[in-house]
Structure 1
Amino acid sequence: MANFAKSNVPKFTIDVYQNEYLPEAAVEVNAIVTVTSTGGGTTGGRPLPATDGTAATGGDGEGAPHAAVVIMVDCSGSMDYPPTKMRGARQATEAAIDTLRDGVAFAVVAGTHKAVEVYPGEGGLAVASPSTRAEAREALRRLTASGGTAIGTWLRLAQRLLAASPAAIRHGILLTDGRNEHEEPARLREALDACADTFTCDARGVGTDWEVKEVTSIASALLGTADIVAEPEGLTADFTAMMEKAMGKEVGDVSLRLWTPQGAEIQYVKQVAPAMEDLTGRRVESPPRSGDYPTGSWGDESRDYHVCVRVPAAQVGHEMLAARVALVIRDPSNPSGPPATTLGQGLIRAVWTDDLVASTRINQQVAHYTGQAELADAIQEGLQLRKDGDEAGATAKLGRAVQLAHSSGNDETAKLLAKVVDVEDAAAGTVRLKAKVTEADEMTLETRSTKTVRVKK
């Protein structure tokens, strides 16, 4: 990983929202931590000098690429049914390559039951320039659909290509139209574990023959986004948007570091906006008394995290620092190198009181995101009950989801729910299951169930 100059890192701010007042003997502290990044000054926001046709494999010297991207395109036999899928994938990849800034390192991988680097094809990365983009487009026109699907092999090739790059931002885009039928689930899990510290990855399913949990698990493990593109005609716009977002990233390998005092411990850490993502199990110890939770790469953006801390019970009048929150960046390729750079800090407090009004007041942000988490769970459970034939259970869960989406102002999720249920009273959560639901509408709701909205102002 390339070294970075502190002056080039975006400005990060950390705001903590909580009700720090606890009744006597209470032991749980909840807080919403809002992290905002603005004004990055790195080359992620502007072109690097173009270098025609050379491989991006050098060290951290002058001209090293700031960003590296590998696009993994499903080329299995099912991509030819209908032929518009393969054609749409080629066109979308061409559009994504055209969106690359000059100087960005890139490669294209064709994925079937094996992985083949179709461009530049020499075991390395090309550097984006007018000539290399033209060569890549020509290579894409030779792609054909045949063979099976073994996504773990695609990811491992992307890992090898990106691991050799000195780029600060390393990103993958993965497109599939089917299930991972030509390798054991354990092989995909092993590939994801191996790739987790190498690059982030956005995953897309085209059509309706792929498995939602499979695609979302890829994006979750690699701190990217997952979505459905029901019609091949929508791929170009989606790929372009994904690449533009990747080009806007300024700094990578950022972690949320939580310090707790003696006797206190972190119960869980969850990203709650712009989408739900449980980070609790990804903790990496950072002694003394701290743990790091990966957040991936950042551009100009804001994200919210729900932190729950268990503290020792105390008497009325006692105060303590329950946790210290920091955003840090460290060079993962040099763990014995210099200490991590702190990009921002915040404090989570606990104050025990006998004031009933103060101790029972639920912080607005905490309440809102607790409801958004319940919304995501209700959708996923309701859809599963519907598949299992439990109409009463599905109606109850999806009705609760409609109620939560309505009360929180999550209009996009409410619209998706309305394609699966007939809403009689949104505020009360009274719904009826639709007799006929398209597979695309059901998969869209499931895939986007973890997307959240922020607190109403």
Structure 2
Amino acid sequence: MNGGSGFTLTISQNKFLAHGAREVNAIVTIESTGLGGLLGGEEPDTGMAEVIILDTSASMEWPITKIMAARQAAMKAVDNLRDGVSFAVVAGNHVATMVYPREEQTVEANRRTKIEAKAAIGGLAPSGGTAMGAWLQLAAQLFAPHREDLRHAILLTDGKNEHEAPEQFGATLSAVAGSFVCDCRGVGTDWEPDELRRVSSALLGSVDIVPDPNDLEADFRAMTEHAMGKSIGDVALRIWRPEASRLKFVRQVLPSVEDLTERGVKAGRMAYDFPTGSWGNEVRDYHICIEVMSGAVGQEMRAAWVRLVQPGDPPEVLASGNVLASWTDEEGDYTMIDPQVAHYTGQQELAEVIQAGLHAKRSGDLDTATTRLGRAVTLARQTGNEATSALLDKVVDVIDHESGTVRLKSVVDKVDEMSLDTRSTRTVRTRKE
């Protein structure tokens, strides 16, 4: 259903259940169009704040091309900011330091401030360790005065979070979650995909590897252009479900797999809000699973009421739709699996088995690694995820795609293994027959 807001919400499911069955699965597709933004040919009138966080730890000096490329990429990101956007640049090592402006605040982007910011970035020199939590805390402070604006950050690192205890880092992520959207990039191969994935997950952003520092400039340009194209922020997926039912999980499944189940916030009787972040003109899919009380043959019920809402008093409903459950004794009806549900179930499993396989490989459990990555080869082929198939081909020798029979390659480039790990959660849309 289209709420007249530029958002369309459609639900794909097989509503029919066998007598006694209780689990209802549905894919919620949300498409936003005509929201303005650079991609739509006009600038959005929504206020925006941007913070660029650059790792300036000692490791960024080896090789020297890393810090040089990072400085150049940050300058390009500053160039791409729309005039009027509030922005700041932060340097991160074992502490977080303001690069521009010197005070802990943002400034308005214009010709003068961009020139000043680029001059300050050009003087950055690597030293010290790595404490990403401190970087994110400073970013959250900078965003605090901009609660009504779109808030986006870029975080670049080349190393592991070695100067914070895991518990401290986890507490920081919990504290800053929802404060802003953060796209994370790891340059080189000495950083941990799991760490950056935790950051991007908590802050509803993306994560990727940039093996060659020379590619940073293009990547930063793409990230800032994408951010400048957003025009509506802090949108929530509000899910109501009947009493005596249970919401088993809520997951974003396109453009990447992201479990939102534990992020729900109570929004009235039997309803919860799940964060979706900022939107421009785009399409996203969500997988919802509800466990309901079993009904009699011929009975139909609403298993969930799904609404896309923007905060306010009262909140604005941007689009809505219903997830249904209907019990039948017709085997041909209840055994049919919805293609969208099947497709994204396979891609969620694909992400899980790739990460499990790579963890097993790193720990020396080669049998488990072979089994899991073999299953990944089969799933990638079945779901049409050609990009993941290509990445898998660099880590395993495929003997048979259908059965998932593979051999681990004896020599694997670290870039290839980290690329597979980092991009394991990326998904593709259902293939059209």
TM interval, shorter chain, is: over 0.9
Residue in 2 aligned with 1:14?
Answer: 9
Residue in 1 aligned with 2:100?
Answer: 119
Residue in 2 aligned with 1:299?
Answer: 280
Cα distance between partner residues in 2 of 1:88 and 1:315: 65
1:440 aligns with 2:415: yes
1:339-363 deviation per Cα after TM superposition (whole angstroms, max 9, x unaligned): 1111000100000000001011000
Residue in 2 aligned with 1:59?
Answer: none
Structure 1: stretches of 5+ with no match in the other structure: 1-6, 49-63, 332-337
Residue in 2 aligned with 1:403?
Answer: 378
Residue in 2 aligned with 1:187?
Answer: 168
1:314 is displaced (CA, Å) by 1.3
Residue in 2 aligned with 1:388?
Answer: 363
CA contact (8 A) 2:160 2:190 kept: yes
Question: Which segment drifts farther, 190-199 or 302-311?
Answer: 190-199
Cα distance between partner residues in 1 of 2:376 and 2:38: 42
Match of 1:81 among 59, 62, 81: 62
Residue in 2 aligned with 1:146?
Answer: 127
1:178 aligns with 2:150: no
Match of 1:33 among 28, 39, 56: 28
Q: Paired residues, what number?
A: 429
Residue in 2 aligned with 1:334?
Answer: none
1:141 is displaced (CA, Å) by 0.8
Residue in 2 aligned with 1:53?
Answer: none
Structure 2: stretches of 5+ with no match in the other structure: none
The Cα RMSD (Å) is 1.6
Q: TM-score, normalised by structure 2?
A: 0.96
Misfit runs of 4+, over 3 Å: 41-48
Residue in 2 aligned with 1:134?
Answer: 115
1:299 is displaced (CA, Å) by 0.4
1:55-111 deviation per Cα after TM superposition (whole angstroms, max 9, x unaligned): xxxxxxxxx971110000000001001101100100110111111111111100000
Residue in 2 aligned with 1:4?
Answer: none
**Secondary structure of 1:292's aligned partner:** strand
Cα distance between partner residues in 2 of 1:375 and 1:160: 37
1:363 partner amino acid: D
1:424 is displaced (CA, Å) by 2.3
1:430 is displaced (CA, Å) by 2.1
**Secondary structure of 1:368's aligned partner:** helix
CA contact (8 A) 2:178 2:202 kept: no
Residue in 2 aligned with 1:56?
Answer: none
Cα distance between partner residues in 2 of 1:424 and 1:187: 45
1:171 partner amino acid: H
1:229-268 deviation per Cα after TM superposition (whole angstroms, max 9, x unaligned): 1111111111111111111111010000001122222111
**Secondary structure of 2:222's aligned partner:** helix
1:23 aligns with 2:44: no
Identity %: 52
Cα distance between partner residues in 2 of 1:42 and 1:171: 15
Measured at CA, do residues 311 and 65 of structure 1 come closer, stay the same or move farther in structure 2, by a change above 3 Å?
closer
Q: TM-score, normalised by structure 1?
A: 0.91
CA contact (8 A) 1:10 1:251 kept: no
1:201 is displaced (CA, Å) by 0.4
Cα distance between partner residues in 1 of 2:119 and 2:39: 27
Match of 1:107 among 52, 71, 88: 88
Cα distance between partner residues in 1 of 2:135 and 2:67: 17
1:425 is displaced (CA, Å) by 2.3
1:168 is displaced (CA, Å) by 2.0
Cα distance between partner residues in 2 of 1:323 and 1:14: 14
Residue in 2 aligned with 1:328?
Answer: 309
Cα distance between partner residues in 1 of 2:282 and 2:217: 24
Residue in 2 aligned with 1:455?
Answer: 430
Question: Which segment drifts farther, 181-190 or 439-448?
Answer: 181-190
1:301-346 deviation per Cα after TM superposition (whole angstroms, max 9, x unaligned): 0100000011101110111010000000115xxxxxx111110001
CA contact (8 A) 1:16 1:348 kept: yes
Cα distance between partner residues in 1 of 2:380 and 2:298: 39
Residue in 1 aligned with 2:400?
Answer: 425
Cα distance between partner residues in 2 of 1:401 and 1:315: 39
